[in-house]
Amino acid sequence: MKKFACAGALLAALTATPVLADTVKIGYMTTLSGGAGITGTQMKQAVELAMEHKAGKLGGMDADVIFVDDQRKPDVAKQLANRLLKRDRVDIVAGVIWSNLLMAIHKPVTRSGKLLISSNAGPSTIAGKNCHKNFFSLSWQNDQTPEAMGKHMQDAGIKSVYLMAPNYQAGKDMLTGFKRYYSGEVVAEVYTKLGQTDFQAELSALRAAQPETTMVFQPGGMGINFVKQWKQAGMDSVSKLYSVFTVDAVTLPALQDSGLGILGTQTWSADIDNPVNKKFVADYKAKYGSYPSFYAAQAYDTILAIDYAIGKAGSKDADKVGGLIL
């Protein structure tokens, strides 16, 4: 929510900024092709919308955004980052959906003395003692969203939970985060295969265990499969389903009514009641014909935060802008 405080404050900042003749260049990296292309396209659209709202100026400076497609490949991401830094001479590299891609470009960008601003990825490995002064994430750290769910379920007095996540780093981060704030009984902690399509076997086992609640992390296509099969197997009568990153703007078009009644935590939702968000959602819908996802909101935030920080600093110098981003 801090982001929105920033975003609100920018209105004041904008009117006060002196007009500078300099141009700020932003390299925006996201995934525009392949299976995750829809997510990246939404982010690109949100950035374009933000630039439109700012009339092409960030913090009073003329701004130029260069979009690059990382193809969800770490090696491509690294090449692109180098190209952005050396050929295009950008001042800021932003975007990045995937944690493994962010890890690949983290060193090259921060070492060059430029700013790296993540619109989504937040691996815990570059937080804490490995935190770099030029890196900022406008989303979260992987385990924070399930932490909120853990807290909610703890406060709601839920006695027992059955946990399920794909068997990879983010899956483990998510359940670790959840357990940090939930101290009730964990009936079972099931790790499914990454990219699994059929969960019927796991659902049968879950039915036999009869847990009071179930909390899952099954992002993207896995989420569509899981929720569909959950409903089809009539699991709602067995256990109450909670989820993180499972029922969202990416999976809902395929899930439709199947998503009803599944509680999830998220840092952002389309109906957050503040003027900046209302304007973003309304204009995004009007321009692109669909609701923005949280990825889009974070991309929009990224531009607003850059705008605010440059305006406040009165310069695009990384050391001056950096401290004002969050």
Partner 1 sequence: MTITLILEQIFNGLQAGVTLFLVAAGLTLILGVMNFVFLAHGAQVMIGAYAAAAITNATGHFYIGILLAIPLTFISGYLLEYLVIRHLYRRDHMEQVLATFGLILFFNEAIRIGFGPAALFSDLPPSLSGFVEILPGVPYPAFRLWVIVVGLCCALAIGLFVSRTRTGAMLRAGAENPEMAAALGVNIKRLFRLIFAAGATFAGIAGMMLGPLTAVQPGMGEPLLILSLVVIIIGGIGSVRGAFIAAIIVGLVDTVGRVFLPSLLRLFFDQATADGAGPALASMLVYILMAVILIFRPTGLFPAKGRE
Q: By the criterion CB under 8 A, which residues form the site for partner 1?
A: 34-35, 37-38, 41, 167, 189-193, 195, 197-198, 200-202, 204-205, 207-208, 221, 224-225, 228-229, 232-234, 250-251, 253-256, 258
What length does the chain have?
A: 326
Q: CB of residue 200 vs partner 1: minimum separation in angstroms? A: 5
Q: What is the 3-state secondary structure (H, E, C) of 72-86?
A: CCHHHHHHHHHHHHH
Q: Provide φ and ψ at 142, rounded to 5°.
A: -35, -40
User: Which is nearer to partner 1, 11 or 205 (by Cβ)?
Assistant: 205
Distances (CA, A) of 106 to 116, 170, 185, 320: 7, 18, 39, 20
CB 212 within 8 A of CB 161: yes
User: Which is nearer to partner 1, 39 or 141 (by Cβ)?
Assistant: 39
User: Which is nearer to partner 1, 40 or 108 (by Cβ)?
Assistant: 40
Q: CB of residue 45 vs partner 1: minimum separation in angstroms? A: 14
Q: CB of residue 17 vs partner 1: minimum separation in angstroms? A: 39
Rg (CA), the chain: 21
User: Which is nearer to partner 1, 66 or 254 (by Cβ)?
Assistant: 254
User: Which is nearer to partner 1, 201 or 326 (by Cβ)?
Assistant: 201
Nearest to 170 by CA among 128, 220, 211: 220
Q: CB of residue 160 vs partner 1: minimum separation in angstroms? A: 16
User: Which is nearer to partner 1, 35 or 56 (by Cβ)?
Assistant: 35
User: Which is nearer to partner 1, 103 or 254 (by Cβ)?
Assistant: 254
Describe the crossing of helices 275-288 and 2-16 by its angle, rounded to 10 degrees: 90
- SS3 assignment, position 9: helix
Q: CB of residue 297 vs partner 1: minimum separation in angstroms? A: 18
Nearest to 144 by CA among 170, 117, 167: 170
The secondary structure of residue 137, as a DSSP letter, is E
CA angle 299-153-2, nearest 5°?
30
User: Which is nearer to partner 1, 233 or 324 (by Cβ)?
Assistant: 233
Q: CB of residue 257 vs partner 1: minimum separation in angstroms? A: 9
- SS3 assignment, position 196: coil
| Distance from C-alpha of 45 to C-alpha of 287, rounded to nearest angstrom | 9
Q: CB of residue 252 vs partner 1: minimum separation in angstroms? A: 10
Q: CB of residue 34 vs partner 1: minimum separation in angstroms? A: 8
Distances (CA, A) of 50 to 24, 91, 120, 161, 306: 15, 18, 17, 41, 11
